[in-house]
Structure formats: structure tokens, C-alpha cells
Structure 1
Amino acid sequence: MNDDQPQGNPWIKSLLVWGGIFLALLLVVSMFGARSDASGTQIGYSDFRARVAEGAVRDVQIGADKITGTLKNDQTFTTTPVDGDKELLPKLLQDNNVPYTGKAQEEPNMLVWVLAQSLPFLLILGVAFFALRQVQKGGGSGAMGFGKSKAKLLTERSGRVTFDDVAGIDEAREELQEIVEFLRDPSRFSKLGGQIPKGALLVGSPGTGKTLLARAIAGEAGVPFFTISGSDFVEMFVGVGASRVRDMFEQAKKNAPCIVFIDEIDAVGRHRGHGLGNSNDEREQTLNQLLVEMDGFEANEGIIIIAATNRPDVLDPALLRPGRFDRQVVVPVPDIEGREKILGVHMKKVPLAPDVNPRVIARGTPGFSGADLANLVNEAALLAARRNKRLVAMREFEDAKDKVMMGAERRSMVMTEDEKKMTAYHEAGHAIVSVFEPASDPIHKATIIPRGRALGMVMRLPERDSYSYHRDKMHANLSVSMGGRVAEEIIFGHDKVSSGASGDIQYATGLARSMVTKWGMSEKLGPLQYEDQQEGYLGMGGSARLMASEETNKLIDSEIRALVDQGYSRAVEILRANEDKLHILAQALLEYETLTGDEIKTLMDGGQLDRPDTFAGPARPIAAPGATVPRAGRRFLGGGNSGGLQPQGA
């Protein structure tokens, strides 16, 4: 239903319903009340004759089947005469000087009688009418409206979004600009025999702005915009989803030209035939009906279907063919230029200090989606409000970025001195290896302040956005991941090595396995793929299955071990050669807790930190701590195209 059509006032409808109920109750009360008032006190016939004989009766009215009257104490009464005594009653009344009159039989009120007789039928008809009204309600909101579409119609009054509100995805926006132009002027394309695509599938990772982009298309074109989720079609009753699809297209035809946006279409558009038994009958019937409505015998002119998903690999091929979804528009994670534009959009709502530089923030947030950047700006505003500031400064953005990427600080966590020393040398080991590995990304920050589930971390950021790994960088990441474990062994001895390197080992093992089984970077196994990627979110892993013989699996394990051992040996070589720098950096971390990448570089070059009470000079080696083992949970933040691989600690 179009929002512009007049809608009935629900208050008036409720008032009419309650008014009808009140009138019905008033009618019933009046009927029984009238009878009760006319009847008076019921007494026995023998009691009546005795009171007449006593002279207690003032007057009497004799009816056909009822005697009424008034006592001398003004009390009214009624009694029922005995058959055969009606002829003797006048003589009794005359002998006792009681005036009496005859009473004609009461004629019932025809209107009251009709209402009384028809009241049950009226109630039944009312209930039936209410049920039918519920069935006819749109949107499936009625008590029996299972087959009605739950699509919501958004108009300009609901909050107009345009392409000015969408930033960082210029290529995707240009792909969809043609749809906007068709909705504005269809004749421009039809003159040359061209037809606008019937559907466009937006594919991208979560948070990249697929839904926002669809709303911007509707806002730019100025047409009605129906929105529904794929899960809204499917219910436990077979056939309900198909009915909702039909009803949705019926509503769209009445508002054409319009856009129908189906979010998370993979909920209903999964590949058919993968289910067991009849468990997927309802979903498959819904998908079949959707396929027919999009490209069947009936033409749906002026209806453009836009769907969004982050799992295109599970969609049915019939749904993706030309004629249904003619275009697949990839909505990628924004690059540095896109991140800067997105930050500019969200920063318009926040009072900024003069020192805020969106370009610097964009460089330090590789791999962030539009939703991540919106969350970053919001966290910075919350931090500024918590600090009672009137403007959001660059410090708040940096702190918010650290919180989003590394977790919230846990300064209340009590650590012993031995644990702090162990953590400082562990993170210093990561940092030293990273500095002396040419292919490693620059260090952004090192800290021994517990954040999230980690006791400390070294964060690296690439100098520019990267979209692929190189072999030398992978080997450098393996060496850096082993740097913390090697530093513990060098400083505290083999027996004092902690479980803090569990996240580093997990990261190194996963990277080496991918190099061998997916990227063909093993000399012995060659450029072959041995790992079959199962279903998973776009760009977010998923389960995997090895496709190799037992002998090949043994060779895969040995190659993974060789790669990790190579990184371990490289870390040992670097840290043995720079043990003095390891002590300097660990002492600085113990004193200042957090060091920036520039400060680490200054210390490595033999300089001093420009801070109050500047730490300077080499430090003597620290004796091995006691038997206290620090908690597991440190994690290594390596560089990459996602802005930092963050394997969790044990």
C-alpha cells in the first residue's frame, strides 16, 4: 500500500468497537433490570392469602398468570395463583376490603425482543468479520496473514539518502548510475532498443555499504523503495514464502517504477539440491517463485530487483543468470582515498579540533570497511565526551583506533614484575626482528599494556594498501612472529619460556600451511592446490579440507615445519646479533609501557626519546624472573592487505 493513500485512524476504529460493546451490555442490563424492577418481592400464594386475611395488603392487580400488589408498608410483591382459586380470590378480597383491579397481559417490546433474539448471531458475525479483516491485512501483520509480504515501503519522508552520503565505492556507484538514469528517463534507453538490467546483485564483505548504496539509488531516482530481508520469506509452513513473493511483486507493480531491495538474499537463494530429505522444500519453493517472478511469462516492467549478499558462492546458478541478476556489482573494502572520503562523511556530524587530519587516520586504518570507520568516529566522539571536551581532537581518534584494532586497555589488570619483564622482552623481540627484516611492514606501535585478551602487542601498518602477498613478505612475517618466543629463550632460558607465544605460533602455522597448500610456495610440492576451501563468508576463511594422499600429507607437514623453522632460525640470527638493542627496547617498554614506531626507530639508531625523564643508554641484562608464568593470550599483529592479521591467543 502506498504511504500517500489516506489511512483510517486506529483510535476511531477502537472507539467504535468499544462503543458497540458498551451498547450491547447496556441493552442486556436494561432488559433484565426492567424485569427485576417490575416483579417486586416474590411470596408464596398461601402467604399472600394470609396477609389479605390479616389486613396487611393495600391493593392488588390480578393478571392472567401473576398477581402483584402493594403491602401497607409500601413493599411491592408478586405471587403466582393456584389453578381453581382465581374464582374465589375476588370474594376474599371483598370480604377484607382490599381494592383490586385486573391487569392486562404485557406485550413485549418488539425491538428489544428482536435484539435479544439476534444478539448471539450478531456476536458470531462480529467475530467472523474481525477474522476476515485480519486475513486481509497487508504485510503479514494479521493474525492469519501468513502469505502477505513483509516488504516495507520507504519514501522520501522516511529519510532520503543520495550518492552524496555514499563515499569510497566510486566504481560500484558508477555501475549503478545507469539504473538511476533509467528510472528517471526510461525513453532514453528504449529509443535505441536497450533494456535496463532487471536485477543487480551487490557483492561485498559485511559493512562495506551495500544497503546504503541501494537506498541511495532510490533516493537519487525518487522512486518508491521496497526493502525486505531474505529470511522474511521463509516460514515453517510450506508455500508461505512463495505466497509472500507473489504478494511483494503485486505491491511493486502498483508502485512501478520502483526498486525492490532484498538484503541477505543467500537466506532464500541458496543452491538447490544441497539439503537432505524434505527439509528445504519451503525454501526451494520460495526460490522457484522468485525465479518465475523475476523472469517468467509475465513481464514486470519498471521493477528493478537489487539484492545484497556477502556469500555469492552459495547462490543458485539460475538466480545469477542474465535476465534475472544481469549484473554483479562488487562493493569492495575502500582504499586509502575511499577511507578518507568516508571519514569526511561521518566527521560532518562531529565537532572537530583543528589538529584532526582525515588523511592520517585513513592511512592508519587499512582494511577498515565503511561500518568500521563509522564506528571509529563514534568511539572518538564518545572518548571526547568522557573526557569532558568540547571538540574531538586527533588524540581521541588515535585512542579510538587503538581500541578498535587492539581492544580496550586493561590497566586495572594486576601483573607481577616478572610478568611485565617477560612481556616487555617478548614484544621487544617482535619489534627488533621487524626492524631488521627488510620486507616487513613498519612498526606503528608497541605496548605492554594489556588490551583485550593480549598482555602486550606490536602493531604494524603497511605504508600503502596492498592487495596481494609476496613470498619475501611472508617469510618476514614468519620471522617476526617467532621473534617473541626467541627473545624469551635468549633472555630467560629454555625452561622459562612462557605460553604467551601461542597466538604467534598459531599465526605462523596458518601462514605456512597456506603457503604450502594454497599458494604453491613449496619447492617439493610445486604450484598445486592441496586444500579445498569450503563454504565461508566472502574473504573470511571458512572451513578447509585437504585433498591429498597420506604420503603427500606427510610431505605437507614436513614443508610447513621447514618454513616455520626457517622463520625461527632467522629470528634467532637477528636477535643474537642485536641483543644489546633488545635490552634497550625492553627497558624502554618497561618504563614508558607504549612506544611509537618513530620512537622505536630512534632507540635502534642509538638516539634518546624526547620525553620527560628521558630513558637513555644501553641497559644491563636483566636476570631471569622467578617461576611465575605469565598468562597466555598475547597476540602478534602482522601486516597485510587487511591491515593486520590478528590471531587470538590461547
Structure 2
Amino acid sequence: MNDNDKRPGPDNGGGNPWMKSLLIWVGILVALAMFVMLLDTRDVATGSNTIAYSTFLDKVEAHTIKDVNVAGEVITGTQTDGSKFRTYAIQSDLQLTDRLRKAGVEINAKPDEGSPFWQIMLMQSLPFLLFLGIAYFVLRQMQKGSGSGAMGFGKSRAKMLTQRDGKVTFDDVAGIDEAREELQEIVEFLKDPTKFARLGGKIPKGALLVGSPGTGKTLLARAIAGEAGVPFFTISGSDFVEMFVGVGASRVRDMFEQAKKSAPCIVFIDEIDAVGRHRGAGLGNGNDEREQTLNQLLVEMDGFEANEGIIIIAATNRPDVLDPALLRPGRFDRQVQVPRPDIEGRIKILQVHMKKVPLALDVDPRTIARGTPGFSGADLANLVNEAALLAARRGKRLVAAAEFDDARDKVMMGAERRSMVMTDDEKRMTAYHEAGHALVFAHEPTADPIHKATIIPRGFALGMVQPLPERDTYSYHRDKMHADIAVAFGGRIAEELVFGFDKVSSGASNDIMQATRLARAMVTKWGLSDRLGPLDFSDSEESFTGYSAPRGGKAMSDETARLIDSEVKRFVEQGLERARQILTDHLDQLHLIANALLELETLTGEDIKRLIAGEELDRPDSNAPTVVLPSNGTSIPKTRRGKGPGPFGNPLPA
């Protein structure tokens, strides 16, 4: 397919538009100048000096006039010194001819013919021609197909992208294999429509891509067009709606007219919920601009006139607000879910984005994918970009695992705040707080492995302990939930055991919030309370993801509400005592980890395992001095201040 036959451009549309507009305005200015010159009836061609009539008579009597030319009221001539002159005669002076003859002046006379006929016609027609020229210019702007001209409200703002804009194929789309396979049928139809027509099958007219922001809905639509090799029209749902009633419907009609000229093609409408919301849900009489636009879209997609070869693909993250008429068979026949990628999908997405990045040997996409649960494709692309920027800023030629580790820290928590001024007591309390989290993590069998612990402030967190899950979690078990509550209180209990009850800080505020939400979800949503049984006491309409507790509650008796609060408190206190028991039994390990954090600022999961096992940490420099910790006298070689070798999991901020 020749792209030049499909899309008019500078070489296929009759010249440079900017030059054409310039020539039009130059023509208008020239016409105005000619009009002003024609209005000036003075004879500029003679180049003579105009003198008073009385001066002319004095010169005649003084015999300084050589000859005259009389044309009506205008008298021109030559003086004896050769200079030209001009004057205007008085019609009542009947003796002028006798005076001229007595003075010996040569007299030439010619009739007053007035202005030429062409000049008169031009003067009379020029204003009308100017008006026609300006009207033609405005009408041309109104008829521009792009709708960008003056008063081009009703023209579609859809942009057509072809191969010259960068071809995208399914090789560029990773991590959403199920959605890609479901849309493969559309590609086969666009390549060979007769394949389905022979068996009486009809390709779906529309596909609705549903997914969270950044999951690759737009990229997937462009990949369909790239695989099929057809034109790709893209427009946003907000581009249809204007303040003038009827403009959106006109743009819908114009968009489909453009698509018919390029069929077979794909029309992609991004954020269709801006125009496709449920009708009658707003204020007023319901006959507003948005609803008229939606009505026109419904007619164009499945009305009396068939739009053969036009595939409509729309994207939204709010399918629940769309009008039911849009989702019926014959319009958007399919709803394709584009979820956040799992660990295997994240590996493939990372491999796609890492192709353009020079990587060090210690970079493992699987390790990075393990540490990025819940990341969308856009998040992973941003992670790779941030890692490359960090490597360039540090003057490296390759992007190493340390850069990916720091990049994810920056993406999730913000940049390092090494300039933050903290007292020694605050640093020590932060170190014990994070050591408490890490120690409970290490001694809970069902908890995720630790990636690293750090006391370097980032964002609003003074420190964090980051797990590295072995796999993505889709369901949560009772023992894992109780372990997570205990881990959340590890920092608070560590502060209480080391500094005393009165010195407990506010650093555990986020930990308390997470533990309370998890406990409430266990009681009200998952039926994990023996006293309440397997009953749902939440009224959340949204699907539960993560450990965020549902808001509000169903109508229930006061006794049931008190029982729910009692069970939530019991679960939280059980986790609190569980963390207290672990830290009390391994208090020497708590001191060991905390002092190591104070000295090194960052410990990897392997470092923490070795400290708990009583082993020495690896020394990158054989000449590095050892640090004697006052808790039990164990000597630890001083290592370089830095990060762990790989990415990490969800942090627990201090």
C-alpha cells in the first residue's frame, strides 16, 4: 500500500500552505494600493510644478511662457527657461486666448477626454473584487478537511498515522498476550476480508480496550494497524465535544467520511468515556451537546448505512460509566481486558525496553520483574529510562543493577534526601525501627524475602525495608496476613524495647494504618474471624486489590459493629504481641542489624542473613577497617556505602 496515495501532504496537496497564504495576502495588499492610486486624480506623469493662475498671467505678460497645452481646465506648458509648469484655468476668463497670442505664446488645445474606460471600470469593480477575494479566502479556510481553519468547527480532528509515523507491531507489545491474541482476528480480517465473508462470518465492528492507565491500550491499537498495514486514525473523546450544539455530531460524521475514503482502516478513540457516558445521568433536559454526539456515534457505528472496512477501537479505564447502547452487539462487540502484567509479562516488557539500553552483566530482568509487582507497562518504561539517566549522570558507560535499584527507589519513594539534617538520636531510632521490621521479616516463615533495608531518607520516609516476592500474589492466606501485621509492628516494638515506652515515636503511623486496614479487611470482607463467621460486612463496590480496607460499612446493629471493632483490635494486638515475642527472643540480632545500618546505611537481604547467622559481611576492600559494635563485640568489616545489587519489592516506610 502506498502511503502517499492515502494521506495528502505538502507534496501531494498542491504546494506549501504557508506560501499560498502569503501570496493571497500580498495580492490583497497590491489591490488596495492600486485602488488608492486610482483615487488620486492628480497627473503624476507630467512631473511639472503647479503654479497659481495669477502667477501664470504675470508670466504671460512678462513673455516668459514659451508654449501651452490647454485641455479643459488644465493648462500645462513650457517656460522660456525650459521648465515645465501646470495651472488650472478659470472658465470665466474669456480673454486668455488674446493674451496668449499677444505674448507670442504657442497654443495647443486638445479635448478633455477624462479617465480611460479601463480605469473607470477598474475603480468601480475593485471594491467588489476585493470583497470576493476575502470571501473566497474565508470559505477556503472553512472547507479545510482538518478543521483547523477559521470557523472549521464541524470538521473532524482525527489524525491519520501511517507507516512514516513509526510502524508499531505486536513485537513491540509485550506482557498482554491474551489481549493480543483476542485482537489477532481483527488483523487477519483487515489483511483478508474475504476469508471470513466466504463462511458468512462478520468481523466485530468495534473492540473496547479496558484497563488501567499505562497498561498499553493505545500501543496495542497501533500494533493492530501496523500488523495489518492499514491507515490508523486517532482521536480523543474530548475532541468531539464543543460549546456549540451540533458540532460534536458534525465531527463524528466527518470522521467517518474520512475513514471511508481510506477503508480498510482503524479508528481509535481514546478515553471514550468523555463522550460515551450514560445518557440521562446529568442535569438539564438531556438534550445537550455530549448526548447528541453520542447519538451520532451510535448511528454511524450501526445504523442503516453500513461502514464496511472500518474497525472502531476505543480505550477507557471506566467501562462502568459507558452507555449500554455502546456495548451492545453490533457496536462494541468485544471488551478486551488489558490488565497489569504478571511477572512473566513484566520480564517481556523489560526486555523490549532494554533493547536500546547498554546493560551491565549483573542486570537480570527476572530479578527486576520480581521487585516490581503492580507496575504497568508505562511504569516499567519509566523505570528503564530513569536507570539510564542515573547511569549517564554518574558517568557510566553501562547501566548496572545498582542504577535499576536506585531508579525504582526514586520512582516509588522519591529522590534521596542526603541533605536532610537529622540528629544522632533520630538516626539511631530510625535504624532500630528499620532493624525491627527486618528482623520480624527474617523470622516469619510466610513473609517475603528481604531485598534490602536502608535508613537513607526518600520522600516522606526516613527509611524502609523492602521485600522481594518470589512470585505475584493473587490470593492471601490467613497465616501470611497475620505475619504481615506482625512485620508492620516490628519497628514500633523495636523502639519500645530499646528506648522505652515513653520514647516511642510517630514513625510507625503508616505501619499502623496498613495493619489496621488489613485486619479490618480480614474481618469484614474475607470472613476470617471465627466470632463473626464467613459474612461480608463491607459495602465497597470496587474490587479489592492489595490491603486497602473497604470504606464504610453495611447497615448493621450496634452489637455487630462493636464486635467488628473488637475483632479488628484483637487481630492487631495479636500481631503486636507476635512481633514483641520475636524481637524479645532475638534482641542481640536487633542490636547487630541496627548498628550495621548506622554504619553502612544500607544492608542487602544477604547481609541481614549473614548478620543473623553470626557471619562477617563481605569486604569489597581488603584494607577496609573493621567496626566493633558495642552490643556484643562482634567485628564487622566496613563495606562501601551503597545499594544492593538488584531491584526490590514493596517498601514499608518508617
Distance 1:539 1:197 in 2: 35
The Cα of 1:216 is off from its aligned counterpart by: 0.9
The equivalent of 1:619 in structure 2 is 631
Matched, 1:283 2:284: no
Q: 2:580 aligns with which of 572, 576, 590?
A: 572
Given that residues 2 and 153 in structure 1 are in contact (C-alpha distance below 8 angstroms), is that contact kept between their aligned partners in structure 2? Answer: no
The equivalent of 1:603 in structure 2 is 611
Q: 1:416 aligns with which of 423, 434, 456?
A: 423
Matched, 1:82 2:90: yes
Q: 1:208 aligns with which of 192, 215, 219?
A: 215
- Give the alignment of 1:65-144 within 5 angstroms: 65-72=73-80, 74-85=82-93, 87-144=94-151
Distance 1:488 1:550 in 2: 39
Distance 2:548 2:36 in 1: 73
Given that residues 280 and 286 in structure 2 are in contact (C-alpha distance below 8 angstroms), is that contact kept between their aligned partners in structure 1? Answer: no
Distance 1:287 1:61 in 2: 80
Given that residues 168 and 223 in structure 2 are in contact (C-alpha distance below 8 angstroms), is that contact kept between their aligned partners in structure 1? Answer: yes
Matched, 1:160 2:163: no
Matched, 1:224 2:223: no
Q: Deviations over 1:167-198 (max 9, x none)?
A: 11111111111111111112222222221111
Distance 2:652 2:213 in 1: 18
The Cα of 1:476 is off from its aligned counterpart by: 1.9
The Cα of 1:496 is off from its aligned counterpart by: 2.2
Given that residues 536 and 543 in structure 1 are in contact (C-alpha distance below 8 angstroms), is that contact kept between their aligned partners in structure 2? Answer: no
Q: Residues 643 and 331 (structure 1 numbering): CA distance in 2 closer, same or farther, change over 3 Å?
A: farther
Matched, 1:50 2:58: yes
Distance 2:90 2:271 in 1: 85
The Cα of 1:458 is off from its aligned counterpart by: 0.8
Residue identity in the other structure for 2:60? V
Residue identity in the other structure for 1:83? Q
Q: Residues 152 and 60 (structure 1 numbering): CA distance in 2 closer, same or farther, change over 3 Å?
A: same
Q: 1:297 aligns with which of 304, 326, 333?
A: 304
The equivalent of 1:59 in structure 2 is 67
SS in structure 2 at match of 1:226: strand
The Cα of 1:456 is off from its aligned counterpart by: 0.6
The equivalent of 1:347 in structure 2 is 354
Distance 2:293 2:572 in 1: 50
The Cα of 1:645 is off from its aligned counterpart by: 6.8
Q: Residues 129 and 542 (structure 1 numbering): CA distance in 2 closer, same or farther, change over 3 Å?
A: farther
Residue identity in the other structure for 1:476? A
Q: 1:594 aligns with which of 577, 597, 602?
A: 602
Q: Please, which runs of 5 or more residues in structure 1 have no aligned partner?
A: 622-641
Q: Residues 524 and 91 (structure 1 numbering): CA distance in 2 closer, same or farther, change over 3 Å?
A: farther
The equivalent of 2:15 in structure 1 is 9
Distance 2:124 2:14 in 1: 33
The equivalent of 1:397 in structure 2 is 404
The Cα of 1:230 is off from its aligned counterpart by: 1.2
Residue identity in the other structure for 1:104? P
The equivalent of 1:521 in structure 2 is 528
Matched, 1:429 2:441: no
Given that residues 69 and 77 in structure 1 are in contact (C-alpha distance below 8 angstroms), is that contact kept between their aligned partners in structure 2? Answer: yes
Q: 1:477 aligns with which of 484, 488, 500?
A: 484
The Cα of 1:491 is off from its aligned counterpart by: 1.7
Given that residues 423 and 448 in structure 1 are in contact (C-alpha distance below 8 angstroms), is that contact kept between their aligned partners in structure 2? Answer: yes
Distance 1:124 1:571 in 2: 87
The equivalent of 2:589 in structure 1 is 581
The Cα of 1:567 is off from its aligned counterpart by: 2.4
Given that residues 534 and 544 in structure 1 are in contact (C-alpha distance below 8 angstroms), is that contact kept between their aligned partners in structure 2? Answer: no
Given that residues 466 and 652 in structure 2 are in contact (C-alpha distance below 8 angstroms), is that contact kept between their aligned partners in structure 1? Answer: no
Given that residues 310 and 537 in structure 1 are in contact (C-alpha distance below 8 angstroms), is that contact kept between their aligned partners in structure 2? Answer: no
Residue identity in the other structure for 2:570? A
Q: Residues 369 and 594 (structure 1 numbering): CA distance in 2 closer, same or farther, change over 3 Å?
A: same
Given that residues 205 and 539 in structure 1 are in contact (C-alpha distance below 8 angstroms), is that contact kept between their aligned partners in structure 2? Answer: no
Residue identity in the other structure for 2:427? K
Q: Deviations over 1:107-161 (max 9, x none)?
A: 4233332222211111111111111111111132111111111111111122111
SS in structure 2 at match of 1:385: helix
Q: Deviations over 1:442-486 (max 9, x none)?
A: 111110001122111111121111112223222222221222222
Residue identity in the other structure for 1:600? I
**Range moving further from structure 2, 268-277 or 93-102:** 93-102
SS in structure 2 at match of 1:138: coil
The equivalent of 1:313 in structure 2 is 320
Give me the TM-score of the superposition, normalised by structure 1: 0.89
- Give the alignment of 1:412-561 within 5 angstroms: 412-533=419-540, 544-549=551-556, 551=558, 553-561=561-569
Q: Residues 273 and 485 (structure 1 numbering): CA distance in 2 closer, same or farther, change over 3 Å?
A: farther
Distance 1:168 1:111 in 2: 77
The equivalent of 2:637 in structure 1 is none
Distance 1:194 1:274 in 2: 36
Distance 1:543 1:58 in 2: 113
Residue identity in the other structure for 1:392? V
Given that residues 42 and 79 in structure 1 are in contact (C-alpha distance below 8 angstroms), is that contact kept between their aligned partners in structure 2? Answer: yes
Distance 1:289 1:526 in 2: 52
Residue identity in the other structure for 1:567? G
Given that residues 447 and 595 in structure 1 are in contact (C-alpha distance below 8 angstroms), is that contact kept between their aligned partners in structure 2? Answer: yes
Give me the TM-score of the superposition, normalised by structure 2: 0.89
**Range moving further from structure 2, 73-82 or 492-501:** 73-82
Q: Please, which runs of 5 or more residues in structure 2 have no aligned partner?
A: 634-647
Q: Deviations over 1:78-129 (max 9, x none)?
A: 33333321x2111222333333322321342333322222111111111111
SS in structure 2 at match of 1:305: strand
RMSD between aligned residues: 2.9
SS in structure 1 at match of 2:68: strand
The equivalent of 1:636 in structure 2 is none
Residue identity in the other structure for 1:3? R
The equivalent of 2:185 in structure 1 is 178
The Cα of 1:23 is off from its aligned counterpart by: 3.9
SS in structure 1 at match of 2:336: strand
Given that residues 609 and 615 in structure 1 are in contact (C-alpha distance below 8 angstroms), is that contact kept between their aligned partners in structure 2? Answer: no
Query: Aligned pair count?
Result: 627
The equivalent of 1:258 in structure 2 is 265
SS in structure 2 at match of 1:62: strand
Residue identity in the other structure for 2:588? D
**Range moving further from structure 2, 401-410 or 462-471:** 401-410
Matched, 1:338 2:338: no
Distance 1:446 1:280 in 2: 59
Distance 2:55 2:36 in 1: 31
Given that residues 205 and 538 in structure 1 are in contact (C-alpha distance below 8 angstroms), is that contact kept between their aligned partners in structure 2? Answer: no
Matched, 1:27 2:34: yes
Q: Residues 125 and 429 (structure 1 numbering): CA distance in 2 closer, same or farther, change over 3 Å?
A: same
